[in-house]
Amino acid sequence: MTNAQQSTDSIAGTYFLHGVMETASVLELNPDSSFRFFYSYGAVDRYGSGKWRISDHHIILNSRKRPPQDFKLIESKIIPDTLIKIQIVEKNTALLSYVSCIVNTVSGDYDADANSEGIISFPKEAINSISLIFRLCPDRYSVFQPANKNSNFFQFGLEPWIPEIFFNELKLAYGENSLTGEHPLLKGNNFNYSRGQ
């Protein structure tokens, strides 16, 4: 067994985040250099996976590249209505009201949340952009520029990777049975993870 393999084997294990109220977070480092990450806060459960490597007394976590948008535009058209109507569609209808939207028009920005049926309405104006965010996983907005600024009906769906956590060179210093450094969803760079027995 090489020194690198020995180091990988000695660091591999299950690490639990400590010191963050009402938050559970677990990092599983496998000897084959794969990892799984879990995060739970209230009713929100999220996950991530990828590969880890050792570099200068740190482990570095990387996952697949994040897709460009968290929503997909299904349909846009002009309908006979005095409003802009945005409809969110999702099999799990309990998620519909967790979508927020900002519409940028010729006269400024409007923002609103979807109702229980996934409908968001705004005064009818020419649209420059539509920005959507899923509030249970509020990592970023997905921004769309309509092909026709005069369209006033838009239907969007949630992409299946919305709860997935993506890693890009996330760095953790390793010590004896511990990791210290960043968290992919929380601000700061001094989080402590302890290896389970």
Closest listed residue to residue 90, CA positions, set 65, 56, 117 = 117
Closest listed residue to residue 112, CA positions, set 91, 132, 128 = 132
What is the tens place of the pLDDT at every residue in 37-91? 999 988 789 999 999 999 989 999 999 999 999 999 999 999 999 999 999 999 9
pTM of this prediction exceeds 0.85:
yes
Q: Are 195 and 177 in contact, with CB atoms under 8 Å apart? A: yes
Instruction: For each of the domains in the chain, give its residue range(s) and CATH number, in order of start.
Output: 3-63+165-195 (2.40.128.640), 71-158 (2.60.40.10)
